[in-house]
Amino acid sequence: MENYIVLRRPQTSTNSLKRAANPLSSNMLTVERLPIQAVADLARDPEVLAVTQPMATALVRPVPSSAPAPATGDAWGIGSVQADQSPYTGAGVTVAVLDTGIDRSHPAFAGMNVIESDFTGEGNGDLDGHGTHCAGTIFGQDVNGRRIGVARGVSQALIGKVIGQHNANSDILFRGLQWAAQERANIISMSLGFDFPGEVERKVQAGWPVDLATSQALEIYRGNLRLLDSLMAMFKAQAAFNAAPLVIAAAGNESRRSVNRDYKIAASLPAAADGVISVGAAGVSGPLYEIADFSNSFPHVTAPGVDVLSAWPGGTLHSIGGTSMACPHVAGVAALWWERLREARAPQLAQAVSAHLTAQARRDCFTLGFDSSDFGHGLVTAPLA
């Protein structure tokens, strides 16, 4: 028998407001140890939306900075997305970060309402630094007079620890998504990916032939995609109640443009799922921007993702790069748009914010040689009025 993730249809309720208040009930998503015949039976059950084995997940690993971080000044991405010119701060917006946790004692998070939930079994806190860095870019307060956060007025941060030192898989990620939705997150940021190569390698180490290991890993990957698509459809169904979260994810760092400009990989899961805003990474090139050589192609939008300065465990600041660092810039800008559109009483806020992120993105700021397959709709910008 093996462990399987099972996603069932929500129970029908005559109380639509109750459904909106609890968009993903706790009994809809379960992990069950099942024989293969039971899996086949569940797959035919009309009340079951998806059933799949869990797949390993991993960080979208950051890229070391190409140069030492400047000793003074704000993080360069703040001005690039025009957050420094925006009258909005993300006030009243709840943002969830699903990552390696957070060093909540860092000065960047002083005075914030930070709610932590550990899904890895390792306990709260950040043993890696990745989650702290991402959170700092989204809503971190100034540190020693240096601005690192795009949306410094975010009222509540939900920190779901879904990547541990020795424990990370799609079951944990899906439970983190479920928790964030139940806690009524407006925006969910994920700088992680499904570890398809690792899944193949584990099968090979267990004695599987390479071709069969690859086929099996592909089937698990497809099953997790179907389940994630179903989760996103559930989130979207809450839009009429303004309870749908906006989900943003890093596109991935697998491309190798520096080796060959054609060595580009499309955005990977979870960024490639329906309804998720995938984010590519850009760096500065004189007065313009260029797409990072590692940034996966066909993102929805692009954001600063090279030599990004943000919070690091121990109260320090640290500069790294990757689509992992671009994703929280978009989450921060989304929080600014959320505040702006909520004030304007826009209906279905998640969809409205998504539309403004893409419509207001800049396409005329990139160097020659890049096109929409590299930067999507363009570089995100904050609302200026």
State which amino acid sits at residue 262: D
329 is catalytic: no
130 is catalytic: yes
Q: Catalytic pick from 106, 126, 128, 130?
A: 130
Residues 305-308: contacts with CB within 8 Å, 24+ apart?
Answer: 305/279, 305/280, 305/281, 305/329, 306/63, 306/66, 306/281, 306/282, 307/65, 307/66, 307/67, 307/69, 307/76, 307/283, 308/75, 308/76, 308/77, 308/133, 308/137
293 is catalytic: no
Neighbours of 71 (CB within 10 A): 6
Q: Catalytic pick from 80, 86, 99, 300?
A: 99
Are the beta carbons of 187 and 334 closer than 8 angstroms?
A: yes
Q: Catalytic pick from 80, 189, 324, 354?
A: 324
55 SS3 class:
coil
Percent helix, strand and coil across the chain, each to the nearest 5: 35, 25, 45
> For residue 52, what are its two tokens?
């799949």
Active-site positions? 99, 130, 324
